[in-house]
Amino acid sequence: MISRGKTRAGAPAPAVKVKTDEGTPLSLRDLRGRKIAVFLTARFPEEYLVAILPLLSERAFAFHEMDCSPLLLTGIDVFALGRMREAHDPPFVMLSDPSLLLHAALGSAGGEEVAAWLIGEDGVLSTPLQGPRDPSAVVEGALDLLAALGKPQK
C-alpha cells in the first residue's frame, strides 16, 4: 500500500543508496542533471514486476523522446533482478531495494501497488503517481505528466 511518507513533492530526491541490477551502488541524487521517472514495485506479488517490465520496455522510447530516463525500483534482491535483466533485457536501469529503505523514503509501504515519481534535472521530486494493480495507468500517467510539464506556461 502506498502511504504518505515524509517525502513530498518539491523535496530533493532521497540519498538512500541501492544497487543496480548489475550490483553497482546508486542513489537517486547521483542522477541529478537528468530527468528521471522512477517506477516502484514491491517484492510481492512478482506479477507486478513482470507486468511493468514489458510496458516500460515498450514505452522507453517515449520517455527518451522527452529527455527522461525511466528507472525501475523493486524490492527483489540484486541476484533475482539480474535474472530478470537476462530474461527480459529492458532498455532501462533496474534498482534493487530488498530492505525497502528507498521505497520507504519515497513514501511507499511496499505493498501491491505500482507508483512513480518524476525527478527533475534539479533533483527535485514531482507529485507521485499511484495506480493500485494497474501498472499501465502509472506508466501512461507518467508520460502524460511529463508532456504537461514540458508545455510552455501561459
Question: What CATH number is associated with residue 70?
Answer: 3.40.30.10
Provide the grid cell at 147.
508532456
Tell me whether residue 107 is in a domain.
Answer: yes
Whole-number average pLDDT of the chain: 82
In a domain, 1, yes or no: no
Structural domain span for residue 34: 17-148
pLDDT of residue 35: 92
pLDDT tops 90 at residue 18: yes
Has residue 98 been placed in a domain?
Answer: yes
* List of residues 6+ apart from 83 with CB closer than 8 A: none
Per-residue pLDDT reduced to its tens digit, 93-132 = 999 988 888 888 887 755 556 778 899 999 998 878 765 5
Work out how many domains the chain is built from and give that number: 1
Angle at 26 between CA 24 and CA 31, to 5 degrees: 130
8 A C-beta contact, residue 102 and residue 7: no
Q: Is residue 132 part of a domain?
A: yes
What is the rounded distance in angstroms from the CA atom of residue 26 to the CA atom of residue 120? 17
Report if residue 64 sits inside a domain: yes
133 domain residue, yes or no: yes
102 within a domain of the structure (yes/no): yes
How is residue 101 written as a grid cell? Answer: 529503505
pLDDT at 1 over 50: no
What's the rounded Cα separation, in Å, for the pair 141 and 123? Answer: 20
Q: Is residue 79 part of a domain?
A: yes
Confidence bin at 2 (pLDDT 50/70/90) = very low
pLDDT at residue 138 tops 70: yes
What does the block give as the cell for 110? 511496499
Q: Tell me the backbone φ, ψ of residue 26, rounded to 5 degrees.
A: -155, 140
Look up residue 76 and give its three cell numbers: 527483489
